[in-house]
Amino acid sequence: MELVDTFGRVHRDLRIAVTDRCNFRCQYCMTEEGMVWMPREGLLSFEEIERIARLAVERYGVDSIRLTGGEPTVRAHLSRLVKKLAALDVDLAMTTNGVSLPLVANDLRDAGLRRLNISLDSLHRDRFLELTRRDDLDRVLQGIDAAIDAGFDPVKINVVLMNGINDDEIVDFARFGREKGVIVRFIEFMPLDADEKWGPERVVPLKRIMEEINEVFPIEPVERTSAPATRYRYTDGEGEIGIIATVTEKFCDTCDRIRLTADGQFRNCLFAVTDYNLRDAMRGGASDDELAQIIEGAVHDKWAGHGIDTVHFIRPKRNMSQIGG
């Protein structure tokens, strides 16, 4: 059986937020005043996460799971969860800010994690401090090295580009990726920021990113898949880049992602305005069949697209750190 919505999209990619907490205070995820974190008992336990994941894999053929947050490495004993999920025989990856990787990369790799995405929005110390409110650029760079040394392949660097803030670093990041042997993925700024200052004028579009890189390091397109990134490889064979153009080149018609928040809310889209409460259903004694009904109903209700470019767009009440990337 497959998870198919009314538009014929099959959903096989599950994003799981393991916590809403973070060791940064990034402008993209939270206000300067910070956030009120949910009580520990509000979070799904590892056993509850495993139950939902197993149901998605065994009943619906989900074959890709990504752990997100908040910052997933702040969750104690994370390698225990990784080991549980790795046993499901899926493509298991994680998105992290990289700060803790020198301490945990080898343990996560040994537990069964295979791929890492590391968020890094600037290579300039002062700008990094402004964006994250933490002077930890060196620790993130050390985390990237730790991921490479631990054998993660590929290691991807996620860069959210914002006009007037870090859009002058496009070629710098391309060069960084080539020198490190990592894949840099440029992500268009989306209306999920905590300060709600997003506007279309702050989006750096795919066309500009591609053209600026191509002028210095010639690139050619790679055939598109259901993955969110439009990929380009360097013509000299020195790796590739990806561009996730959620705003200017939306890919909703091929999206196969579903999401589970740290507090057990099932979401059928990053921009969904409705949550489907699996946590309370589980804790109320729901059977797997009853949980499956909730999941199937949620996927059935998925919209054709996020609608960012329309007058009908409704901004989600949760920001990125509360949803999971």
185-218 per-position pLDDT tens digit: 999 886 555 555 656 678 899 999 999 999 999 9
Encoding tokens for residue 149?
A: 């040394």
Q: What is the Cα gyration radius of the chain?
A: 19
- Cβ atoms of 275 and 258 within 8 Å: the answer is no
Residue 307 pLDDT more than 90? no
Residue 32 pLDDT more than 60? no
Which range of residues forms the domain containing residue 226?
13-323
Question: Is residue 131 a part of any domain in this protein?
Answer: yes
Distance between CA 81 and CA 272 in Å, rounded? Answer: 26
- Cβ atoms of 66 and 93 within 8 Å: the answer is yes
Residue 133 vs residue 77, higher pLDDT: 77
Distance between CA 250 and CA 273 in Å, rounded? Answer: 18
* Helix, strand or coil, per DSSP, at residue 47: helix
pLDDT > 90: what percent of the chain? 70
Question: Is residue 130 a part of any domain in this protein?
Answer: yes
Distance between CA 298 and CA 300 in Å, rounded? Answer: 5
Residue 36 pLDDT more than 70? no
Encoding tokens for residue 236?
A: 């000299």
Q: Position 190: which residue type?
A: M
Question: Is residue 154 a part of any domain in this protein?
Answer: yes
Question: Is residue 306 a part of any domain in this protein?
Answer: yes
Top mean pLDDT of 18-27, 241-250, 253-262 is at 253-262
Residue 309 pLDDT more than 90? no
The least confident of 77-86, 133-142, 302-311 is: 302-311
pLDDT > 70: what percent of the chain? 85
Distance between CA 325 and CA 310 in Å, rounded? Answer: 23
Question: Is residue 7 a part of any domain in this protein?
Answer: no
Chain-centre distance of CA 30, in angstroms? Answer: 16
pLDDT for residue 16:
97
pLDDT for residue 33:
55
Peptide bond into 70 cis (omega under 30): yes
What's the whole-number mean pLDDT along residues 272-283?
Answer: 94
Element (H, E) at 238: none
The CATH number linked to 51 is 3.20.20.70
Question: Is residue 317 a part of any domain in this protein?
Answer: yes
Encoding tokens for residue 160?
A: 């959210």
272 pLDDT band (50/70/90 cuts)?
A: confident
Q: Which of 21, 190, 173 is nearest to 100 (CA)?
A: 21
Residue 312 vs residue 120, higher pLDDT: 120
What's the whole-number mean pLDDT along residues 233-257?
Answer: 87
How many domains does the chain fold into? 1
Question: Is residue 48 a part of any domain in this protein?
Answer: yes
Question: Is residue 60 a part of any domain in this protein?
Answer: yes
Q: Which of 244, 236, 206, 199 is nearest to 220 (CA)?
A: 236
